[in-house]
């Protein structure tokens, strides 16, 4: 299991467009990706679960990558977050 934290830089937080891109990116990985915020967690492949977290600008979330090729999947998720959020 690999985990990392990321602070959202997008002015609108995780809104519909980047949440959709995130779900699509997570579905393409060999690992399960989970996002945690304030004691709530969401499967990163589920658009409405991501939106339900209500992540705003400057909030820090924890991303957990488990199973499959964790190293490559974690790097892909870190790149996705830095490029899009």
Q: Looking at the predicted structure, is the pLDDT value of residue 69 above 90? A: no
Q: Mean pLDDT, to the nearest integer, of 61-78?
A: 90
Verify whether residue 84 is a known catalytic residue.
Answer: no
Q: Looking at the predicted structure, is the pLDDT value of residue 37 above 90? A: yes
**Mean pLDDT in the chain?**
92
State pTM to two decimals.
0.87
Q: How confident is the model at residue 61 (pLDDT cuts 50, 70, 90)?
A: very high
Distant-in-sequence, close-in-space partners of 40: CB < 8 Å, separation ≥ 6: 52, 53
Q: Which of 2, 10, 13, 15 is catalytic?
A: 15
Q: Looking at the predicted structure, is the pLDDT value of residue 7 above 90? A: yes
The pLDDT of residue 68 is 78
């Amino acid at each position: 299991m690999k985990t990392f934290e990321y602070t959202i830089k997008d002015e609108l937080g995780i809104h519909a467009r980047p949440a959709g891109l995130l779900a699509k990116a997570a579905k393409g990985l060999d690992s399960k990706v989970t996002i945690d915020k304030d004691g709530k967690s969401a499967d990163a492949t589920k658009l409405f679960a991501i939106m339900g977290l209500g992540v705003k600008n400057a909030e820090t979330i924890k991303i957990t990558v488990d199973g499959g090729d964790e190293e490559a999947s974690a790097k892909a998720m870190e790149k996705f977050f830095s490029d899009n959020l």
